[in-house]
Amino acid sequence: MPFDIGGVSSSVMSRALDLPGTGLLAIVGAGGKTSLMFRLATELTAGGARVACTTTTRIFPPAPDQVRLILGEDNSRFLEECRETANQSRPACLAWAEEGAKLRGLTTGFIHDLYRMRIFDWILVEADGARRLPIKAPADHEPVIPACSTHVLAVAGLTAIGAPLDEQHVCRSERYAKLSGLALDDPVTSASVVRLCAHPKGMFKCAPAEAVRLLWLNQADVPGAFERGREILRLLCEEGSLPHRAVLGAADHPPCVQEVWS
């Protein structure tokens, strides 16, 4: 059920997600993963944590004022730069190289080694791609979650509700139809999002068994979206499928956290 986290503060996102002092958070799904990752990184850094952002797929480069970008050339120099930047006032964004307009991410093995070294208190990993669409169902090879992830955060954009189930609105629309029980071109429903969240091949596919599962229903600032998000969370509660924490929010617009369910 929803509860109050004590009002707005500089740590509102991490408190809403019930994040401890250290960990590795893998972010999957669609509808605002990158914006959420960089906003959370900025918040954690402001609270004194040493934070790195990266991806196991590809992401667009961050704005220079968001993070310090570190592009790897060889492992030893890469790690040296990580140590140098860890205690700075901005989070780091780690990637191997630029591929066209995007950054190529790190391997899960390298992320595991970096996490074991404890250079950073938090490593935030965008572990999924969605072509900037609001919702997706993962393919067989997705998502690419590091096995050492302590937390997995699934993101879904509420603007998908009511949109046609097709490739213009839903990433992997055929897979979404198969997992949710809808037919292609049907309107996406709140109940279908619930089925995707609860399905073993759905939103939390490939999550390590011991990882804490979190849900962020994004774009709650759009008219009517907050009510649709509440319906999804109510149905998850009724089915006993609500993750450890679920947040209704808007990563790009204040207030970023509107309601927290547990």
Model pLDDT for residues 27-62, shown as the tens digit of each residue: 999 999 999 999 999 999 999 999 999 999 999 888
Q: Minimum mean pLDDT among 59-68, 159-168, 230-239, 251-260: which range?
A: 59-68
Look at strands 257-261 and 245-249 and give their pairing.
antiparallel
Q: What 3-state DSSP class applies to 71?
A: strand
CA distance 214 to 227: 20
pLDDT at residue 8 tops 50:
no
Q: Which candidate, 59, 155, 70, 55, places its Cα nearest to that of 105?
A: 55
Q: Which residues contact 195 (CB under 8 A, 6 or more apart)?
A: 179, 180, 181, 202
Q: Which candidate, 190, 262, 197, places its Cα nearest to that of 224?
A: 190
pLDDT at site 131: 92
CA distance 160 to 15: 27
pLDDT at site 55: 96
pLDDT per residue as tens digits for the range 151-175: 999 999 999 999 999 999 999 999 9
pLDDT at residue 233 tops 60:
yes
More confident site: 89 or 190? 190
Q: Are 56 and 144 in contact, with CB atoms under 8 Å apart?
A: yes
Q: Minimum mean pLDDT among 36-50, 98-112, 218-232: which range?
A: 98-112
Phi, psi of 116 (to 5 degrees): -65, -30
Q: Are 87 and 49 in contact, with CB atoms under 8 Å apart?
A: no
pLDDT at residue 80 tops 50:
yes
pTM for the predicted model, two decimal places: 0.94
The amino acid present at 255, given as its one-letter code, is P
pLDDT at site 84: 86
pLDDT at residue 100 tops 80:
no
Q: Where are the beta strands (DSSP E) in 177-237?
A: 212-218
Q: Are 212 and 152 in contact, with CB atoms under 8 Å apart?
A: yes
pLDDT at site 173: 98
pLDDT at site 11: 62
pLDDT at residue 7 tops 50:
no
User: How many Å from the N-terminal Cα to the C-terminal Cα in the chain?
Assistant: 6
At 91, is the pLDDT very low, low, confident or very high (cuts 50, 70, 90)? very high
pLDDT at residue 9 tops 60:
no
At 97, is the pLDDT very low, low, confident or very high (cuts 50, 70, 90)? confident
pLDDT at site 78: 87
Which residue is associated with the tokens 């997600």? 17
Mean pLDDT, range 223-247, rounded to an integer: 96
DSSP, res 72: -
What's the sign of the alpha-carbon dihedral 15, 18, 21, 27? Answer: negative
Q: Are 27 and 124 in contact, with CB atoms under 8 Å apart?
A: yes
CA distance 142 to 171: 12
pLDDT at site 180: 96
At 5, is the pLDDT very low, low, confident or very high (cuts 50, 70, 90)? low
Percentage above 90 pLDDT, the chain: 77
If 0-12 CB within 10 Å is exposed, 13-18 middle and 19+ buried, where does residue 100 land?
A: exposed
Element (H, E) at 167: none
Label residues 177-189 b or e (16+ Cβ within 10 Å = b): bebbebeeeeebb
Q: List beta partners, residue 92.
A: 52, 68
Return the structure tokens found at 175.
């897979």
More confident site: 87 or 131? 131
